Amino acid sequence: MSQSINLEPVNALDHSAFLGAFASVFEHFPQAAEGAWSARPFASEGALHEAMMDVIRRLDDQGQRAFLNLHPLLSGANIRAGTMTADSNDEQKSAGLDAMSREQEAALDQLNAAYLKRHGFPFIICVRHYTREGIFSALERRIGRSSQQELDEALAQIGAITRARLSARLTGLN
């Protein structure tokens, strides 16, 4: 992302302020910011993001799966119910998941259920990089992959999601 972000203010944050600024970058997992705290000072936005991702990468298989299960299903109903974080809500709206027909919602619910049953965690995709149709296509394709492939893919997608979230927060601090 942008190399023009000044990280001096980030590196100068005390522990509480750092967590306040970055604890919500990873969905319901403030431990990523907590773990990254000790890696300060950060030379770049990428270094900060990598420190946070390293917390996730160091989790064992069971821990990574538990982390993935903190993420919401893609769902128009979740958007309408307001049950997701503001970031997830905005991201899913950006892909038009709040404007699906009943048939599309039912199809998405069925695909989500099949994916969850097969892999044991929700389908995760950086929705800002896809159209609604592209999301459906990826979900259909990824159901049949191995669960290890999907674990790896879900973590890669989380990397893209959180990189964008982190960039937005850093821009807000500068």
Task: Enumerate the active-site residues.
Answer: 71
Question: Per-residue DSSP letters for 16-34?
Answer: HHHHHHHTTSSTT-THHHH
The total of other beta-carbon atoms located within 10 Å of residue 107's CB is 15
Is 29 in contact with 69 (CB distance < 8 Å)? no
Is 109 in contact with 75 (CB distance < 8 Å)? yes
